[in-house]
Structures are given as structure tokens and as C-alpha cells.
A and B are shown apart, each in its own frame.
Chain A
Amino acid sequence: MSAKTLYDKLWDSHIVREDESGTSLIYIDRQLIHEVTSPQAFEGLRIAGRTPWRISANVAVPDHNIPTKDRHLGITDPVSKLQVDTLSKNCSNFEIKEFSMSDPNQGIVHVIGPEQGLTLPGMTIVCGDSHTSTHGALGALAFGIGTSEVEHVLATQCLVQKKSKNMLIKVNGNLNRGVTAKDMILYIIGQIGTAGGTGYAIEFGGNAIQELSMEGRLTVCNMSIEAGARVGMIAVDQITLEYVKGRPYAPSADEWDKAITSWQYLKSDEDAHFDKLIEIEASSIKPMVTWGTSPEMVTDIDSTLPYPNNGYNTTLQPALDYMGLTSGTAIKDIKLDKIFIGSCTNSRIEDLRSAAAIVKGRKVAKNIKLAMVVPGSGPVKQQAEAEGLDKIFLKAGFEWRDPGCSMCLAMNADYLEPGERCASTSNRNFEGRQGQGGRTHLVSPIMAAAAAIEGHFVNALEYLDN
């Protein structure tokens, strides 16, 4: 038998049938559902008189629209409320498990999947959300789909797919102190561009990846889509197994040995063929900051903004204009208005711990109008509070909110006003992403925390050492 990549193995073990052209019917183990991309899918199901193929394969949670404060008052925006209520109604009609807004385990769909053990190694996982790539960190094949495909999976438990090509991004060596998983993935996107991974499933490997915690791996896989790849994944190892063990929906004790025996093969064979290999030296990565309106417009903390002849051509000037910045400006001279620590990229306990360590005993700078921390889930929030992180943030002048997508995409009441500039731990810096006219700089949690204290960008390392 020929050597296989992790992606080949996951793909092959889920083929229901394949036609001559290579188009395959792929079985889906888990579908995660949220309120924004599902109402039309349930509606389609109802119109066609169809029922879900396997109810227990589906789990739902509202996250995009929900308020992050005064949640007991409910949702004030009637349009958002209708969408969240519609999810509950659909779940109740079709008997699908929902972590509702008042459930203590509610959170961002890509945080609660792994946290609850609903995401497991070896699974195929889909969700009507491009950041489904996150779940690949556990050695799963996970990708975002559109609403028609959500309906397709509900009705058939399958998707018609064409296999992607294999790409290996190997991050060798060790990350320097003060450089995080977020900096690593931003650096990679800067290297290969936002379309660099289009048509590929990316496996992340190499020493620096293996040394990441599960939280860090989830951050890296999360932003595969910003590198153009629907799928990002990391081989199963001891860190994966330790993370999964004992989670509410993980295999029970009597199934555990059988499960880990089958999961140990979830890594690429030594001589497996990759269509593309990219090698990166971890020690060359510095803390990163995006400066433009695409995640590939990124540089390190010690740099200055590029001039038009430096490769970006037609997109550079419009991006600088939108961002209200000029070529030659030092990243460290960019002053901020708001700080957002949260999103499916960086809202897990490790993210909050690292940000709190920077913030501890310090105060948010006077020019910062709002600094907020939005934990990724109820359990993350509880854990953080048990460790006293909430008090550290509150004392420094941060707001401590309830879990949800919040200002990553600003569908709820958390958004930027036109012209406001934000250091954000989220994943997209597109025009208007955090609010019409808002200006987003993507950074790691420690860089966002340090920027909150300083009022402008600064190398978080200076705070780690003092």
C-alpha cells in the first residue's frame, strides 16, 4: 500500500462512493450548526418534506448574534432575536441538541466543539462557517460549507466533494519567547498569501507545531482559511489524546483504548507525497501585526508600512487609505482606540491567561476607549474566573463579557465606529469587518494586551520580561 498523508487517510476512510471523474460522496460524522447559516437549510428540509438523516450527528449553538453583556435581558435587536429563536425552534422541531444562550456550556461553535469532546480525532466535521478548519487541530478533517450544503448534510449525512491537493507547512525549530501560535499563522499567511492555500488541504507539522499546546494548534488551524485553505490539520499525538480524554462527549473509559488505537494512525506516513511543501524556520518569526485590509497585509512589530513599489501594487494604496495610514509609518507608532480579545481564533483559556499576565497590575492607556475580553465559552469564562483572571482584567480597565463571536464580525452590539482603530485577536481585517469604516489590526492576545496598556503597538516581550 502506498504511503498516505493524514488528509489522504481521513478522506479515504469516509468515501461512501466515488465516480470516474474523482467526485466522491463523503460521509460526515459531525455537523456543527449556528444561527446565521442554518435557517434556510432547515426551511429547505421542511419544504422538501425531508428529515435529518442522523439527528445525533448534529449539534447547534447560537454565537454570532448574541449579546456579550446583560444577557439576562435577552436580545434587544428584534432581527437578531428572530434568528436566534429560529435556531431554537428548528432544533426543538428536529430534536437536535442545542447549547442555548442560557446554557452554561454555550460558546463560540469552534470553541465548544473541541471543549465538549464533540470534535474528535478521525472525524469529518462540517459547519456553515469558514473557520471550521479550526477542528483539524485534533487530527480531524474539518471544513466550512455553505447553507445548501448544511441542508445536504442534514438530509443525507454526506457531501459531494472533490479531493483537494496536499500541502505540508513545516515549521522547524523553536519559537522565540514572546512569539505565539497567532504570530506563526499570521507569518505563514504573509508568506503564502490569502490565496496560497486555495485548492489545498494544509497539514501543519514540524517541531514548532508539535510543541504547541492544543489551544495554539487550534489557533493555527483556525486561520488556514485566511491562507485560502478550507482545511487545516495537525497529526494526532500525546497532546491531542491528553486534551480529548475525559471530555463530556469523548469516548467513554471502556471505548478509550480502542479509540486511541485507531487514532494512532492519524499522521502522515514518513514517505507520503505532498503536492506542495513549505518550510519555515520558527526562530525567524517575530510578533506580527496586520496593517491592511487583507490578512496577508502583515508585518512584524519592528517594521514600517510598505511603499507602493514593494509588491502589493493595486491593493496597497486603497488599503492604506481605508486604514488611514501612510507608507513608512512604524507599526509601533500606530495609536489605537479599542482592544478586542476574543473570537474563535484566540478566546481559549491559554489566550486569556497569557493576556492577563501582561495586564496584571497595569492600567489600560487613557486613549483606549474600550478594551474588552470575550471568553470563547461558558467553561472558559468559569475557568478564568476560578483563576482570578476576570479581576485582573477588570482592575486594569478591561470589560469582562459573556461568550460569543462579538466584535470579530460585529453582528451584535459590539462594533467599531467609523474610523476607530482596533487591536484585535480575531481573524479578519477586511473593510467593515468589525463595523462599517472600522480599522482592524490582527495580533496575538499578548500583543493586544500590551497595546491596551501602551495605547499603541509595542513588542509584548518587553512586558513579559518586566
Chain B
Amino acid sequence: MEKFKTITGVVAPLNRDNVDTDAIIPKQFLKSIHRSGFGDNLFDEWRYLDHGEPGQDCSNRPLNPDFVLNQARYKNATILLTHSNFGCGSSREHAPWALDNFGFRVIIAGSYADIFYNNCFKNGILPICLPVGVIDSFIELTQNNPGYTLSIDLESQTITDPLDTIVHFEIEEYHKNTLLDGLDEIGQTLIYKNDIKQFETNHQFKNPWLFKTL
């Protein structure tokens, strides 16, 4: 996984609460057996005026001019700014894959659904959580200032705006290190393979019925 250090990018405001993963990437695109190719279908039902199907060339599809990501000023956005309970619903990791494929590196939201939040870290996306009031003011600044950018520094856990105002954010140590080091998490767990084996032996002794051959 690519290491995450700092990023400065255009901010796109998605002015809604409870954005669910069905909205982030609709079900028909989940039929893919690959990890990439979801960017064109990110927010498909909001972004296009027609019905999207997997494998379609999206360059000629009619765009919904009202949808934020279709506005020229947010075209190259790498930071998505939104409200509370982002990523609720289905556990589909296709949601962070689609956000990543589109080009988002950071999400700033009031809060996240638990499964989505975890899935972000597996894909090098930094999900930042900020108080509702701070989100509201960032949304206003983004909407009122075309080309509004923010700089994110994961090491120091700070967001810096164009006027050099600094906002601090919280993140758990484990998650932070995963992103900073771009670690292979499976490899990290396998460092403890002897602990796992020992646990397993004891566990099987106590609960032999859990170890049936199927």
C-alpha cells in the first residue's frame, strides 16, 4: 500500500448526512471481480442522468449538472468534505475503492459508519473526523471560495487552510501507523503466527466442536 504523508488538494463539499455505500457505489458495479475500475461509477445515480451498467463507457453519458463532482471547480478534488454518518449501510469495500479510483485521498466528515471507516485504512484513504461546527464552516468556505484547498499532514495530525489556520484531528495510533508506513497488514499479523497457533491449540482443546472438518 502507498504510504500516506501529506497532501494538499482541492476540497469538494458533499452537503448531506447519512451518505450510504449504496449511493457511493450502486450494487450493479459490485459484480466486478477486480479491485479497480470503479472511479467512473462513484456516486453513479447522483452523477449521471441515465442508468449506469458495469463495463459501460461513461464518457458519453449525460451528466447531472447539479451534482457537486460534475462542477468544473471540483474536477480535480482529492479531499471530500461531508457531514455525519458517512459510509453507512453495506460493508462493500467497493466504496473506498471507488473513492480512491476517482482520486480522493482524504475524507473529512462529522462521523463515519464503523465498517466503512475501517475499510478506508486498508486502501490508503485517510478518513478525518471533525466536530459538526468545524465541518459546517469548512463547507461554507469551500462553497464560497472556488479552488479552495486544504493541506493535510498525517504525522502532525493537522489540517491547514489557505490562511494558515490550523485544525488538529484525532486518529488512533494503529491506523495512523498503517497509513504512514503503508504496511502489509497481513504480513504484520503473521509476525505473531506462533501466538496464533498457541491460541488455536488452547481454543480447540476447550471448544473441540468449533474445529469440525466441513
- The 7 closest A-B CB pairs, nearest first, are A148-B122, A146-B93, A251-B209, A39-B33, A146-B119, A97-B214, A144-B91
Which residue of the partner chain, among A82, A152, A436, contacts B185 with CB atoms under 8 Å? A152
- Tell me if A48 counts as interface (CB < 8 A to partner B): yes
- Tell me if A237 counts as interface (CB < 8 A to partner B): no
- State the Cβ distance, A33 to closest chain B Cβ, in Å: 12
On whether the beta carbons of B189 and A160 are closer than 8 Å, the reply is: yes
Q: Given the known inter-chain contacts A27-B200, A83-B33, A130-B91, please indicate yes or no for A123 contacting B210, CB distance below 8 A.
A: yes
**In the assembly, what is the distance between CA of A432 and CA of B55, in Å?**
19
- Tell me if A290 counts as interface (CB < 8 A to partner B): no
Q: Given the known inter-chain contacts A40-B35, A249-B214, A262-B206, please indicate yes or no for A158 contacting B189, CB distance below 8 A.
A: yes
Give the residues in chain A near B114, CB-CB below 8 Å: 164, 198-199, 228-230
Give residues of chain B (174-191) contacting chain A, Cβ–Cβ below 8 Å: 174, 184-186, 188-190
Q: Given the known inter-chain contacts A83-B31, A130-B90, A148-B123, please indicate yes or no for A255 contacting B208, CB distance below 8 A.
A: yes
On whether the beta carbons of B186 and A436 are closer than 8 Å, the reply is: no
- Tell me if A294 counts as interface (CB < 8 A to partner B): yes
On whether the beta carbons of A149 and B22 are closer than 8 Å, the reply is: no
- State the Cβ distance, B195 to closest chain A Cβ, in Å: 5
- Tell me if A366 counts as interface (CB < 8 A to partner B): no
On whether the beta carbons of B174 and A23 are closer than 8 Å, the reply is: yes
On whether the beta carbons of B55 and A79 are closer than 8 Å, the reply is: yes
On whether the beta carbons of A259 and B209 are closer than 8 Å, the reply is: yes
On whether the beta carbons of B212 and A56 are closer than 8 Å, the reply is: yes
Could you name 6 residue pairs across A and B whose Cβ atoms are closer than 8 Å?
A82-B33, A97-B214, A129-B91, A144-B91, A195-B84, A431-B23
On whether the beta carbons of A120 and B210 are closer than 8 Å, the reply is: yes
Given A79-B31, A152-B186, 8 more A-B residue pairs with CB atoms under 8 Å apart are: A21-B172, A39-B34, A118-B214, A128-B93, A146-B93, A162-B172, A228-B85, A432-B23
Give the residues in chain A near B123, CB-CB below 8 Å: 148
Q: Which partner residue on chain A sits nearest B26 by CB separation? A: A432
Which residue of the partner chain, among A37, A156, A259, contacts B196 with CB atoms under 8 Å? A156
Give the residues in chain B near A459, CB-CB below 8 Å: none
Q: Given the known inter-chain contacts A29-B210, A40-B34, A147-B93, please indicate yes or no for A432 contacting B195, CB distance below 8 A.
A: no
- State the Cβ distance, B107 to closest chain A Cβ, in Å: 15
On whether the beta carbons of A146 and B26 are closer than 8 Å, the reply is: no
- Tell me if A50 counts as interface (CB < 8 A to partner B): yes
Which residue of the partner chain, among B16, B30, B111, B190, contacts A155 with CB atoms under 8 Å? B190
On whether the beta carbons of A152 and B174 are closer than 8 Å, the reply is: no
- Tell me if A310 counts as interface (CB < 8 A to partner B): no
Q: Which partner residue on chain A sits nearest B174 by CB separation? A: A23
Q: Which partner residue on chain A sits nearest B28 by CB separation? A: A411
Give the residues in chain A near B203, CB-CB below 8 Å: 14, 27
**In the assembly, what is the distance between CA of A146 and CA of B115, in Å?**
7
On whether the beta carbons of A25 and B27 are closer than 8 Å, the reply is: no
On whether the beta carbons of B122 and A149 are closer than 8 Å, the reply is: yes
On whether the beta carbons of B199 and A249 are closer than 8 Å, the reply is: no
- As a 0/1 sequence over residues 81 to 120 of chain B, the CB contacts with chain A under 8 angstroms (1 = contact) are 0001100111111001000000000000001111100110
- As a 0/1 sequence over residues 67 to 83 of chain B, the CB contacts with chain A under 8 angstroms (1 = contact) are 00000000000000000
On whether the beta carbons of B118 and A23 are closer than 8 Å, the reply is: no
- Tell me if A401 counts as interface (CB < 8 A to partner B): no
- Tell me if B165 counts as interface (CB < 8 A to partner A): no
- Tell me if A428 counts as interface (CB < 8 A to partner B): yes
Q: Given the known inter-chain contacts A37-B92, A195-B88, please indicate yes or no for A156 contacting B195, CB distance below 8 A.
A: no
On whether the beta carbons of B189 and A148 are closer than 8 Å, the reply is: no
- Tell me if B40 counts as interface (CB < 8 A to partner A): no
- Tell me if B131 counts as interface (CB < 8 A to partner A): no
On whether the beta carbons of A48 and B186 are closer than 8 Å, the reply is: yes
Give the residues in chain B near A65, CB-CB below 8 Å: 31
On whether the beta carbons of B172 and A23 are closer than 8 Å, the reply is: yes
- Tell me if A383 counts as interface (CB < 8 A to partner B): no
- Tell me if B146 counts as interface (CB < 8 A to partner A): no
- As a 0/1 sequence over residues 315 to 330 of chain A, the CB contacts with chain B under 8 angstroms (1 = contact) are 1001000000000000
- State the Cβ distance, A420 to closest chain B Cβ, in Å: 14
- State the Cβ distance, B178 to closest chain A Cβ, in Å: 9
- Tell me if A443 counts as interface (CB < 8 A to partner B): no
Which residue of the partner chain, among B184, B195, B207, contacts A16 with CB atoms under 8 Å? B195
Q: Given the known inter-chain contacts A56-B213, A146-B91, A410-B27, please indicate yes or no for A21 contacting B173, CB distance below 8 A.
A: yes
Give the residues in chain B near A147, CB-CB below 8 Å: 93
- State the Cβ distance, A334 to closest chain B Cβ, in Å: 22
Q: Given the known inter-chain contacts A149-B122, A432-B26, please indicate yes or no for A130 contacting B212, CB distance below 8 A.
A: no
Give residues of chain B (11-39) contacting chain A, Cβ–Cβ below 8 Å: 16-18, 20, 22-23, 26-28, 30-35
**In the assembly, what is the distance between CA of A309 and CA of B166, in Å?**
36
Q: Which partner residue on chain B sits nearest A151 by CB separation? A: B186
Give the residues in chain A near B34, CB-CB below 8 Å: 39-40, 43
On whether the beta carbons of A411 and B119 are closer than 8 Å, the reply is: no
- Tell me if A433 counts as interface (CB < 8 A to partner B): yes
Q: Given the known inter-chain contacts A16-B195, A37-B91, A148-B119, please indicate yes or no for A25 contacting B210, CB distance below 8 A.
A: no
Give the residues in chain B near A36, CB-CB below 8 Å: 30-31, 92
Give the residues in chain B near A411, CB-CB below 8 Å: 27-28, 30-31
On whether the beta carbons of A194 and B22 are closer than 8 Å, the reply is: no
On whether the beta carbons of A120 and B209 are closer than 8 Å, the reply is: yes
Give residues of chain B (21-69) contacting chain A, Cβ–Cβ below 8 Å: 22-23, 26-28, 30-35, 45, 51, 54-55
Q: Given the known inter-chain contacts A25-B195, A432-B23, please indicate yes or no for A228 contacting B88, CB distance below 8 A.
A: yes
**In the assembly, what is the distance between CA of A157 and CA of B173, in Å?**
23
On whether the beta carbons of A130 and B89 are closer than 8 Å, the reply is: yes
